[in-house]
Amino acid sequence: MIARLRAPGLHRGILAIPLGIGFSYAIVLPIRAASHYHPVLDGTAILQVAMIVAPFAFLIGLGAFDYWFYWATGRPTRPEDHSGHGARSWKDYFRVNTDHKVIGVQYVVHSFLYFLIGGLFAMLMRVQLAQPGGKFVDANTYNGLFSVHATVLIFLFVIPVFAGLANFVLPLMIGAPDMAFPRLNALSFWLLPIAGLMLLGSFFAPGGSFASGWTAYAPLSTSAPIGQVFFTLGVQFAGASSIATALNFLVTIITMRAPGMSFFRMPLLVWANFSTSLLVVIATPFIAASQFFVLLDRALGFNFFNAGSGGDVLMYQHVFWFYSHPAVYIMMLPGFGIISEVIAVKARKPIFGYRMMAFSLLAIVVLGFTVWAHHMFTSGMPGWIRDPMMITTAIIAVPTGVKIFSWVATLWRGVLHMDTPMLWAMGFITMFTLGGISGVMLAMVPFDLHVSKTYFIVAHIHYVLFGGSVFTIFAGVYYWFPKMTGRMFDERLGRWHFWTTLIFFNVTFAPMHLIGIQGMPRRVADYSSQFATWNLIISIASWGLGLSTMIFVYNMVVSWRGGPRAVANPWRGLTLEWQVSSPPPIFNFDSLPTIVGGPYEYGVPGAIHAVFRDGAQVPQPAPSRAMVTQE
């Protein structure tokens, strides 16, 4: 027992938490006593310190820092025996593991847990809104529900699930044995449960959970009850995880590509994650800063956002959106990558305009940093900023349009395998186009002056993030499910999942455009009775949407446990992840591949993407008719 508590792992990690809390008391009490603060024992002060210290204690206990501590203190680092690498039993998923495939699965499963929780919150909100004058929850709880809903789904679902999928497939795709920094990779994942539990834990805080929206605008957030700090700090941990992963992706992509894999031979998923990682590394520190400002305002009275003491209220919004607009692309570009993979393979055609697809990603990265103040058209910032921001915001539709049209052109004359991943991809193209169009409308300042912060925005964001990001996530999860689990999913259930989701998604979110323009504000626990009919329809459809997700959960769980065994390359893909077994060997490749051609040469007679040095496997596409006749 003692040995188990001394060894790195969950036991030691959990044991370390009370030690961290004790340490927080030991810091806070003497300082308060010395400063003559009254009372000396103050729960809020200790809680805020403990929320910073305890997570680090947990991580140290877990063993996330063991190797670095040994190294830093000059003690012999244990020779790498790879005992912390790869999963031999399910228990290996619950400890610090350095295998990118294990971490990828950890990320994806953990993220979907929060997808279900965040979705459940939405369904509870829709109960409250089913009728005007809803009494299901009180206004404060309602404000908490939508705040936690958005925060959890952004920071613990969409962003990390993309990081998880890429974690699994990206090193495989570029022919690397792992990520560049496996230990950092493990640490990145383990920061997430901390962030997640902190956000959810806020419901138990005195005064309720944080309730100032996921945007946490000051001075509402600086004057809110202590639950707000759970957001302020939770986001720091999620953000740190994001930054570390992005650095890891950048270094991996730049330095660990297999011989012959030039940038323009990389699959577009790799391009997408390269672009996303640039955004994350540059932008995420800004949200960290905005939340540190809030923390300092709250805990130590810095008055950054206190207008009466020289603070600047709009400053918060500028710093916040300087991250949070690029974050929209952080939540979309990896999905673009997934769609490119799925569509090329499932349409049996090369991606139309590969280079333009890559360049448009980079264009979005650059433009993405120039549009943040379009969230602030009504904020009271100097009026002249509106015009340039309107121009840049509208221009960003051009590279996005290039991508949409190129996917559509890839479908043209293909041989479309209309199975589950492809249905999601095609559903994505149409739904995301709608979200993009309402985005262009919102860019037009005079229209935005009317609908900003209304249900029109709620509709737009969900067409972009649900019809956009979530559809791509489903496409990706179905597409790589055989590779990740070694099992096939149930195709029939997959189709049911797609069609029910598509229908309920549209019934839920399309009417929101209308009620928004008609004058219904978002983030309200009650509304004027003129919107009653639509709200009832929306509420019913939202529960349908929730239930359709249960089909997915059932399919995933049952297929993972007992689905038919997957072959190495069930979709006849050319990219490298399909050239190894399903699931892949612990170190990915028995011999490193050499890349000799593009990743999407479907239909090109005799095209080869890669050859393996030992010559034992030649990762040709499973013989297409074109190839057979060529030989």
Partner 1 sequence: MADTHGSQSTPHRPPPSRRTIVRLLAIGMLAAAIGIVFGLLIPWFPPAAAKQAHTIDTLYYVLIVVTVPIFVLVTTVVLFSGWRWRMRPGEERLDGPPIHGNTQLEVIWTALPAALIAALVVYAAIVLGDIGAKQPNELKVGVTGQQFEWTFSYPAYHDGAGQPIVAYQLYLPINRPVVFEIHSVDVIHTFWVPAFRIQQDAVPGLTTSFRATPDRLGSYQIVCNQLCGYGHSTMRTTLHIITASAFNAWLAEHGYSGGAQTTSLQRKPASGGGATEVADAGGWRGYAPLSGAQTNTKEGTQ
Residues within window 384-423 making contact with partner 1, judged by CB under 8 A: 386-387, 390-391, 394-395, 397-398, 401-402, 404-406, 408-409, 411-418
In this chain, which stretch among 238-246, 269-277, 475-483, 596-604 interacts with partner 1, using CB under 8 A?
Answer: 596-604
Alpha carbon of residue 346 to chain centroid: 25
Q: What residue has token string 């399309």?
A: 510
Instruction: Report in angstroms how near the CB of residue 107 gets to partner 1 at its nearest.
Output: 31
Q: What does residue 161 show for φ and ψ, rounded to 5 degrees? A: -70, -35
Bridge partners for 565 per DSSP? 487
Report 157-176 residues binding partner 1 (CB under 8 A). Answer: none
Q: Kindly tell me which of 92 and 526 has the beta carbon lying closer to partner 1.
A: 526
Rounded least distance, CB 271 to partner 1, Å:
16
Closest approach, Cβ 604 to partner 1, in A, equals 4
Burial class, 506, CB count within 10 angstroms (exposed 0-12 / middle 13-18 / buried 19+) = middle
Nearer to partner 1, 63 or 213 (CB): 213
* Encoded tokens for 421: 């991943």
Residue with tokens 């490119």: 340
If the CB atoms of residues 168 and 304 are measured against partner 1, the closer one turns out to be 304
Give min distance, CB of 607 to partner 1, in A: 8
Binding test (CB under 8 A) with partner 1, winner from 15, 65, 362, 379: 379
DSSP for 333-351, written as a single string: HHHHHHHHHHHHHHHTSPP
Token output for 26: 């030991």
Which residues, 6+ apart, have CB-to-CB distance to 347 below 8 Å?
Answer: 410, 411, 414, 415, 416, 417, 422, 602
Nearer to partner 1, 33 or 415 (CB): 415
| b/e code 445-460 from CB counts within 10 Å (16+ = b) | beebeebbebbbbbbb
Token digits for 189?
Answer: 């994942």
Which residue lies nearer to partner 1 by CB, 283 or 364? Answer: 364
Interface residue with partner 1, options 12, 40, 44, 65 (CB under 8 A): 44
| Minimum gap (Å) between residue 549 Cβ and partner 1 | 24
Part of the chain binding partner 1 (CB under 8 A), chosen from 149-157, 236-244, 284-292, 427-435? 427-435
Nearer to partner 1, 183 or 417 (CB): 417
Site for partner 1, residues 207 to 246, rule: CB under 8 A: 207-208, 211-213, 217, 219-220, 222-226
The three-state secondary structure class of 362 is helix
Cβ-based nearer residue to partner 1, 104 or 467: 467
Non-local (6+) Cβ contacts of 430 within 8 A are: none
Q: What is each CA distance from 146 to 117, 129, 560, in whole angstroms? A: 12, 12, 32
The kind and range of the H/E element at 611 are: strand 610-612
- Segment 523-582, which members bind partner 1 (CB under 8 A)? 523-528
Measured CA to CA, the distance from residue 187 to residue 62 in angstroms comes to: 10
Decide whether 2 or 300 has the Cβ nearer to partner 1: 300
- First CA to last CA distance, the chain: 64
Query: Under the criterion CB under 8 A, does residue 453 sit at the interface with partner 1?
Result: yes
Q: Which stretch binds partner 1 (CB under 8 A): 72-80, 175-183, 439-447, 551-559?
A: 439-447
Q: How many CA atoms lie within 13 A of 227 on its CB side?
A: 27
Chain residues 270-329 in contact with partner 1, contact rule CB under 8 A: 297-301, 307-309, 311-314
Site string for partner 1, 130-149 (x = CB under 8 A): ---------xx--x------
Indicate the residue among 104 and 603 with the shorter CB distance to partner 1.
603
Alpha-carbon gap, residue 101 to 586, rounded angstroms: 8
* Near partner 1 by CB under 8 A: residue from 454, 469, 508, 582: 454
How would DSSP label each residue in 558-591?
HHHHHPPBP-S-TT---SGGGGS-SSPPTTS-SS
Least Å from the CB of residue 494 to partner 1: 16
Chain positions 464 to 483 lying near partner 1, rule: CB under 8 A, are: none
Please, which of residues 490-519 interact with partner 1 by CB under 8 A? Answer: 514, 517-519
Task: Using CB under 8 A, count the residues that bind partner 1.
Answer: 112
DSSP 265: G
| Minimum distance of partner 1 from residue 80's CB (angstroms) | 43
Q: What is the 3-state secondary structure (H, E, C) of 282-329?
A: HHHHHHHHHHHHHHHHHHHCCCCCCHHHCCCHHHHHHHHHHHHHHHHH
The least CB distance from residue 55 to partner 1, in Å, is 19
Crossing angle of helices 227-255 and 182-201, in 10° steps, is 160
Query: Does position 605 bind partner 1 by CB under 8 A?
Result: yes
Helices (H), 63-99: 66-72
User: Looking only at residues 61 through 120 of this chain, which bind partner 1 when binding is defined by CB under 8 A?
Assistant: none
Choose between 134 and 171: whose C-beta lies nearer to partner 1. 134
Q: Nearer Cβ to partner 1, position 416 or 507? A: 416
DSSP string, 420-484: HHHHHHHHHHHHHHHHHHHHHHHHSHHHHHHHTTBHHHHHHHHHHIIIIIIHHHHHHHHHHHHHH
Q: How far is the CB of 198 from partner 1 (least distance, A)?
A: 18
Give the binding range for partner 1 (CB under 8 A) out of 76-84, 285-293, 347-355, 464-472. 347-355
- Residue 240: which of 155, 345, 325 has the closest Cα? 155
Q: Does 30 bind partner 1 (CB under 8 A)?
A: no
If DSSP codes are grouped into helix, strand and coil, which group holds residue 544? helix
Using the contact rule CB under 8 A, the part of the chain among 55-63, 88-96, 444-452, 475-483 near partner 1 is 444-452
Q: Which residue in 447, 496, 534, 560 binds partner 1 (CB under 8 A)?
A: 447
Measured distance CA(221)–CA(238) in Å, rounded? 19
Of the two residues 27 and 395, which places its CB atom closer to partner 1 in the complex? 395
Whole-number minimum distance, CB 343 to partner 1, in Å? 10
Q: Does 24 bind partner 1 (CB under 8 A)?
A: no
The least distance separating partner 1 from the CB of residue 414, rounded to whole angstroms, comes to 4
Q: How far is the CB of 445 from partner 1 (least distance, A)?
A: 5
Binders of partner 1 among 354-373, rule CB under 8 A?
354-356
